[in-house]
Structure 1
C-alpha cells in the first residue's frame, strides 16, 4: 500500500462562466466540487493505476466530511485525523480563457491535533511500502514538520517521496534523515539553491549540488519539455511527447503518483522514469485534475525518450 499525505486539503470548487462581471451578480450552471489538495491528486492517480492507496492529513467540519465521502467512493482508504477547525474551500472561476482563484488559508492546527497526527502516522507508516508528502502546511504547524515525518518514516525504513518547495523543502533537506525522492520544478530548484537555473547545462550542474547529498532521487520537471532526473550519480534527460493539453494542473502530482507506483512494482530506472513522466503527460490530457487514462499508458510510455547524460 502507498500512503499519501495532504495536511491542508480543500474542497475545490470550479465555476465556469462565459463572462465574469464585476460588482454584480454572476449566475453559474457549470459547477464542479472535488476533494482537492496535491496529495489527494496523487491518491486518485495511484488508485486509477490499480494500486492500493490510503490518504491522510487533517479534516474538519462539513467540508471535511465531504472529502471523506468522496475518497471513500473512489476506493481510497481514509487515514485522516479529525480536527476542530473547518477544512477550507478553494474556488476557481474560469472565464474568457482565464482562471481567477480564491484560496482560503484553512484551519489552524493545535498542538493536540498535531501530536495525534504524529502518533497515527507512526502507526500507519508501518503498514505501507511508500509515503508521499505533498503541498504546504496548515497554520499552527512548525516548518520542520515534514522533517519530523521523514524522520519517523526513516525509523521504520519506509521511503518518502516529498513534493514541496521553499523553506519546507530546505529544512527537510537540512535534516539527518533524507527523503527518498524530491520533485522541484525548474523555478523551485533555482529558489532552493539561490541561483539562476535557466538552461539544461545549469540544471545538470544544479543537480550535482551538495544540498542533494543523501537524496537518492531528484526529479526536476521542466514543463511540457519533460524533466531531468538524478538517481544517485546517474543523471537522465527525459523528453516527453507533444500532446493536446486540456488541463495541466496536477501533472506534477501525477508524476509523484507514477514514481510511487513504479517503485512499488520494482521497475528498472529507465522504465520507472518513463512510467512516472507518462502520468504527468496523461493528466494534462484530461479535464479533471489528478486523473489519467490507464489505457493510454503504453502508448505514451513508448513516446518518452530517456537519455543518460
Structure 2
C-alpha cells in the first residue's frame, strides 16, 4: 500500500471572517468567524483523510496554540509527525464577502538549524520506496529558497515519489535542480511567474507545462480556478472542467485538488480519471467551509460530471 506523507513548513490557523461587504477604511461587523488548522500540506492531508486514505502530516508547529491542530489530527485519524517548537503558529486572515476572498498572510515561525535537522530526520525515517511525499506551501523565515530542491533529492534518494506545490523562488529553485520532482502543481499565476511571461490563453499554459515535462518532470498539473485545470505528461495533455457548484468557501480548494491528484496516483488510475478525481475533490471542497470534503459518494457523483477533453499534441 502506498504511504502518503505531507510536509507543511509554514502552517497557519486560517481565520475566516465573513462580512456583508469589504470596504477599505471602514469599520466592519463580522457576520461569522471560524478558525481552521491550515497550511497547504495540512489541508491536503485533511482532504485525503476525508476520502478514507491513511496519511501522515509532518511539518513545524508552535506549541503555544496547538489545540486546533491536535483536534484535527485526532478527529480525522491523521498520523501526527510534526516537530513541535516553542511559540505560536501564525494566524492567517481570510476576509470573505460577496466579491470574493481577501487573504492577509502573517509571518510564520522562523526555521532554525536544529528544527530543520529534526524535520530532515523525520522525513528520512518516514519516507521509503512506497511513499508519495507532498511538499506544499511557502517557506518560513530561516529557510533558503533551495530547501524544497534539497528535500526532493533526499526523498527521491530513498525511493519516494515527490509532488511539489510551491511558488516563487522555492519553485524556481526546485525546477532548476538536478533532481526534479515527480509532479508539480502550480496555478496559472505561479507558472507565469516561473516562465517570466504572461500565459493568457489555454494554449500558452499547456506549452509552458509541456516545457516542464520536457525538462524531466513526469506530470505537470496547472490549476486555472473556475476554468478547471490542465494535466500534462509526455505525449498526453488534458483539460478538465468542473461543474457549477454552490460555493460555501474557496479556502483550501487548490489543496483539495492536490489531494485528489494524490488519491488518483495512489489508485494508479488513468490520467483522465485522475483529472476527474482531482477536480471532484476541489469542487466538493467548495461546498464545505475549511479544507473538508463531503462524503465519498458525493465526491464520486461530482467526478462523473467532470468534463475532460484531450488537447492537441
TM-score by length of structure 2 reads 0.90
Is 143-152 or 268-277 further displaced after alignment? 268-277
1:12 corresponding residue in structure 2: 14
Q: Output the aligned Cα RMSD.
A: 2.4
2:54 corresponding residue in structure 1: 52
2:117 corresponding residue in structure 1: 115
> What is the SS of the residue equivalent to 1:264?
helix
Per the TM alignment, residue 8 of structure 1 is displaced from its structure 2 partner at its CA by 0.9
In 2, are the aligned partners of 1:183 and 1:220 still within 8 Å (CA)?
yes
Deviations 1:116-175 (A, max 9, x none): 111111111128521111110111111111111111111111111111111111100111
Per the TM alignment, residue 17 of structure 1 is displaced from its structure 2 partner at its CA by 4.6
In 2, are the aligned partners of 1:85 and 1:108 still within 8 Å (CA)?
no
Structure 1 residues not aligned, in runs of 5+: none
> What is the SS of the residue equivalent to 2:109?
coil
Map of 1:157-306 to 2, 5 A cutoff? 157-209=159-211, 213-306=215-308
In 2, are the aligned partners of 1:219 and 1:229 still within 8 Å (CA)?
yes
Deviations 1:54-96 (A, max 9, x none): 1010012221354133322221110001223421112334457
Is 126-135 or 196-205 further displaced after alignment? 126-135
Deviations 1:250-298 (A, max 9, x none): 1111111011111111112221121112111111222333434322222
> What is the SS of the residue equivalent to 1:208?
helix
Output the CA distance in 1 between the equivalents of 2:33 and 2:126: 35
In 2, are the aligned partners of 1:54 and 1:78 still within 8 Å (CA)?
yes
Is 174-183 or 58-67 further displaced after alignment? 58-67
Match of 1:32 among 31, 34, 38: 34
Task: Name the CA shift for 1:273/1:100 in 2 (closer, same or farther; >3 Å).
Answer: closer
Is 69-78 or 252-261 further displaced after alignment? 69-78
Output the CA distance in 1 between the equivalents of 2:21 and 2:191: 37
Task: Name the CA shift for 1:148/1:290 in 2 (closer, same or farther; >3 Å).
Answer: farther
> What is the SS of the residue equivalent to 1:72?
helix
Structure 2 residues not aligned, in runs of 5+: none
Task: Name the CA shift for 1:212/1:65 in 2 (closer, same or farther; >3 Å).
Answer: farther
1:307 corresponding residue in structure 2: 309
Output the CA distance in 2 between the equivalents of 1:232 and 1:127: 23
Per the TM alignment, residue 23 of structure 1 is displaced from its structure 2 partner at its CA by 8.9
Is 165-174 or 19-28 further displaced after alignment? 19-28
Per the TM alignment, residue 99 of structure 1 is displaced from its structure 2 partner at its CA by 4.6
Is 125-134 or 145-154 further displaced after alignment? 125-134
